[in-house]
Amino acid sequence: MSQKVRKAVFPVGGLGTRFLPATKAMPKEMLPVVDKPLIQYAVEEAREAGIEEFIFVTGRGKTIIEDHFDRSYELESVLNERSKEGLLAELHASVADAGTVAYIRQQEALGLGHAVWCAKRLVGNEPFAVILADDLILADTPCLAQMTAAREKAGGGNMLAVMEVPNAHTSRYGILSPGKEDGNLVEILGLVEKPEPAKAPSNLAVIGRYILEPKVFDILENQSRGAGNEIQLTDALSSLLGHDPFFGMKFDGTRFDCGDKIGFLEANIAFALNREDMRDDVKNFISKFARDF
Ligand code: UTP
Q: In this predicted model, what pLDDT tens digit does every residue of 7-45 receive, in sequence order?
A: 999 999 888 899 999 988 899 999 999 999 999 999 999
Residues 177 and 189 sit within 8 Å (Cβ to Cβ): yes
Note whether 175 and 192 are within 8 A (CB). yes
Candidates 9, 15, 23: which one to mutate for ligand 1, based on the most atoms within 8 Å of Cβ? 15
Q: Which of 62-66, 72-76, 145-149 has the highest mean pLDDT?
A: 145-149
Q: From the CA of 216, how far away is ligand 1's center (Å)?
A: 19
pTM for the model = 0.94
Position 247 scores a pLDDT of 94
CATH number of 7-259: 3.90.550.10
- The three-class DSSP label of residue 151 is helix
Q: Provide the 3-class DSSP secondary structure of residue 235.
A: helix
**Which residue pairs, CB below 8 angstroms and at least 24 apart, start in 16-24?**
16/259, 18/259, 18/260, 18/261, 19/259, 19/260, 19/261, 19/264
Identify the band that residue 223 occupies on the pLDDT scale cut at 50, 70 and 90.
Answer: confident
Distance (Å, whole) CA 165 – CA 204: 6
Burial class (CB in 10 A: 0-12, 13-18, 19+), 153: exposed
Q: How far apart are CA 3 and CA 156, in angstroms?
A: 7
Query: 15 CA distance to ligand 1 centroid (A)?
Result: 6
Examine the pLDDT at 1 and tell me if it is beyond 70: no
Name the DSSP letter for residue 284: H
Of 116, 134, 173, 264, the residue with max ligand 1 atoms within 8 A of its CB, to mutate for a pocket test, comes to: 134
Vertex 62 angle, CA 57 and 65, to 5°: 85
Query: Are 278 and 272 contacting, i.e. CB atoms less than 8 angstroms apart?
Result: yes
> Would you place residue 199 in the very low, low, confident or very high pLDDT band (cuts 50, 70, 90)?
very high
User: How many other C-beta atoms are found inside a 10 Å radius of the C-beta of residue 223?
Assistant: 20
State which amino acid sits at residue 121. R
Whole-angstrom distance, CA of residue 146 vs CA of residue 139: 10
User: Which has the minimum average pLDDT: 70-79, 109-118, 166-175?
Assistant: 70-79
Range in 53-62, 102-111, 121-130, 220-229 the model is least confident about? 220-229
Pocket of ligand 1 (CB under 6 A): 11-19, 57, 106, 109-112, 114-115, 132-134, 259
Q: How far is ligand 1, taken at its centre, from the CA of residue 276, in Å?
A: 33
- According to the model, what pLDDT value does residue 252 have? 97
Kindly tell me the burial class for residue 72, based on how many C-beta atoms sit within 10 Å of its own C-beta (0-12, 13-18, 19 or more). Answer: middle
Nearest ligand 1 atom to the CA of 57 is 25
d(CA 226, CA 57): 20
Q: What's the CA-to-centroid distance between 133 and ligand 1, angstroms?
A: 10
pLDDT at position 3: 87
Q: What 3-state DSSP class applies to 181?
A: strand
Element (H, E) at 144: helix 143-154
> Is pLDDT at 176 greater than 70 in this prediction?
yes
Please state the φ and ψ torsions of residue 246, each to the nearest 5 degrees. Answer: -140, 115
For Cα atoms 168, 137, 175, give the angle at the middle one, nearest 5 degrees.
Answer: 35
